[in-house]
Amino acid sequence: MHIDALKTLVIDALEDLKAKDIALLDVSKLTSVTDLMIIASGTSTRHVSALAGSVVEKAKEAGEQPLGVEGENGADWVLVDLGDLVVHIMLPETRQLYDLERLWADLPSDVERGESEVRGA
């Protein structure tokens, strides 16, 4: 499945169950692990679990087998790994604590790192 179609599928699955504050991060220049991250908040651990379950279900229906799902037990932060797209669903307090949006925004890109190494920085 093309990354844009997968992104739309995930966002639709999250919106269908009323996820809060959905954010999309393009991290393709920052890491080779994944290209996109979607971060969303749920209102309770039950809501976070339901959101993650919806993402997994919709992905499977579209023929995309998740590579892994982490955090289902505590459900204050559930990660759904879809390869080129990783979904983080968190309680608002957990999201504020880890502040992934700021963390990824502050990282230098591979291009910037390569230029610094060439300059000898």
The CATH code of the domain that includes 87 is: 3.30.460.10
Task: Please report the pLDDT score of residue 15 as a whole number.
Answer: 98
Task: Please report the pLDDT score of residue 33 as a whole number.
Answer: 92
Range of the domain at 107: 3-119
Per-residue pLDDT of the chain (121 residues; tens, 9 = 90+): 799 999 999 999 999 999 999 999 999 988 889 999 999 999 999 999 999 999 999 999 999 999 999 998 888 999 999 999 999 999 999 999 999 999 888 766 554 444 444 444 4
Distance of alpha carbon 63 from alpha carbon 86, whole angstroms: 16
Strand order of the β-sheet with 85-90 is 20-26, 36-41, 85-90, 77-81, 68-70
CA proximity to 81, closest of 47, 38, 115, 112: 38
Distance of alpha carbon 67 from alpha carbon 33, whole angstroms: 12
Domain count within the chain: 1
Task: Please report the pLDDT score of residue 114 as a whole number.
Answer: 47
